[in-house]
Structure 1
């Protein structure tokens, strides 16, 4: 059984750029290391709560996770941000912890960061996992456009708007039709503590996401240059990264396998009680370590 909850200490790491990120290593195994690149607004602790960190530690890996710039616990420099800069943040953490090579796992926008890291640090990745974040749909660009326009007009994103977007994209159809579930999520998202350091951090990450999407990333050429074993995962009801687009993009990666997990939307990594996605991640990392992948 995988452990839930905190499995590692968190430290505020000052990067050479002066930006400080909340980060930490979990596990005492002999590796290889696994780097977890988070999605938008995703605190470091989410990896623990999903069971990803605990399962990887139990399998003998050492796991580096962090809260990206803009997320609570880390600095929120003035926006806009971009994906290459966020990839450089991840590279700076690898340097801080003296990690030369790692299996790199991305979730949602963390898949963008993962792809940029491969380009900016060739030879770093032993293998790659991209979960719910390979080739976005037009809905993703539309949501980013809407939220950035509200920032320009209001200087912030109203919590009710953010809560509605999160509900509609994170939950599966059955959950969205259950009034108690919707009320519970509404109360958590609107009345609970924010996952953002400040509105600047939220604005910055939105700008980074939109710049990547509007640039047409990932391009066919970028996908074709991924030269390590790759696992692409998609959730059947994901509006942001539907299986059709993710499967087609995975086919352009020379050594990729594709897995579709049914019954969940974009939040499937967090909401699946069976921990299906974490199990696939750990299995893939084991196979990379053992040379059978």
Structure 2
């Protein structure tokens, strides 16, 4: 394992590499409000097959939070810069929510750099109700900081049953959310508000697997199925007993859903 802050010139991102040199690369991208720690449950299985690069998205964790707003061109550009820094010509990519949307941008605009993409619990567009939700979220953070949205975030990420059974994990996840930079969080919200990949999904140049929790309200099953239907060869796999952050909420089922696609 290696890790630390990586200076990419225009921005420094905190990242970590797990797995042995010489293996194929897999890049992991976090959701809004999370850090790379959200993937901890999956790392043992993934690092047995891949050299795994994960990073804190700009505005999150230990990465820089340059002045916003951000765009998905910024977010995909950060991934490409990391790949260039580590000498990665092409990699598999897996992201959840905002990270999955970043993966869609790579599949559409940079298919030469990604071999395959998993978009977990993500959307591809921002209809009016979605946009107004981000306006309300931004207002709450501007008024009360990340503490103002942490309870609602945790409730949307994880089922009520899981939260009741895992109070220590819930507390750690809440702390992770509040560890981020409020201005960086808002800048990412502004990127999400302008999300507009749905009409371009037919242009995706690499295989895409969509996975999502059956209780996900942010990226509902019918939304993700429609995304898969719009993607050449796209497949959607639903994860039972999971809300928006399915890889934490149902880690074993999540791993089973992605295993064939990633040749684990």
Give the TM-score taking structure 2 as reference length: 0.89
1:140-174 alpha-carbon deviations (Å, 9 max, x no partner)? 5443221112345x3x5351x31232133112243
Q: CA deviation at 1:184?
A: 7.8
Instruction: Report the structure, 1 or 2, having the larger helix content.
Output: 2
Q: What secondary structure is seen at the aligned counterpart in 1 of 2:92?
A: strand
Distance in 1, matches of 2:28 and 2:131, equals: 24
Q: Distance in 1 between matches of 2:85 and 2:186?
A: 27
Alignment of 1:139-288 (within 5 A): 140-151=130-141, 154=143, 156-157=144-145, 159=147, 161-175=148-162, 178=164, 185=170, 188=172, 194-196=178-180, 198-212=181-195, 217-220=196-199, 222-272=200-250, 275-286=252-263
CA 1:183–1:20 in 2, change beyond 3 Å: closer, same or farther? closer
Do the aligned partners of 1:106 and 1:131 also contact (CA within 8 Å) in 2? yes
* Residue matched to 1:100: 89
Question: In the alignment, is the contact (CA less than 8 A) between 2:19 and 2:52 conserved in 1?
Answer: yes
Matched residue SS, 2:230? coil
Q: Distance in 2 between matches of 1:183 and 1:279?
A: 25
- CA displacement 1:88-110 (0-9 Å, x = unmatched): 01110000000011111111111
**Structure possessing the higher radius of gyration over alpha carbons:** 1
- In structure 2, relative to structure 1, the CA distance for the partners of 1:190 and 1:229 (3 Å cut) is closer
User: How well do the aligned residues superpose, as a CA RMSD in angstroms?
Assistant: 2.5
Aligned equivalents of 1:189 and 1:55: distance in 2? 22
Correspondence for 1:32: 24
The count of corresponding residues between Structure 1 and Structure 2 is 263
Counterpart pick for 1:16 among 9, 13, 16 = 9
TM-score (normalizing by structure 1): 0.80
- Structure 2: distance between partners of 1:167 and 1:12: 27
Unaligned segments of structure 1, at least 5 residues: 1-7, 288-293
**Maintained 8 Å contact 1:102/1:124:** yes
What does the per-residue CA deviation read over 1:223-277, in whole Å, with 9 as the maximum and x for residues that have no partner? Answer: 10112222110110000001011001101111222111111111221122x5221
**Structure 2 residue ranges without an equivalent (≥5):** none
Measured in 2, the distance between the counterparts of 1:284 and 1:191 equals 32
Following superposition, the deviation at residue 134 of structure 1 comes to 3.2
Matched position secondary structure for 2:223: helix
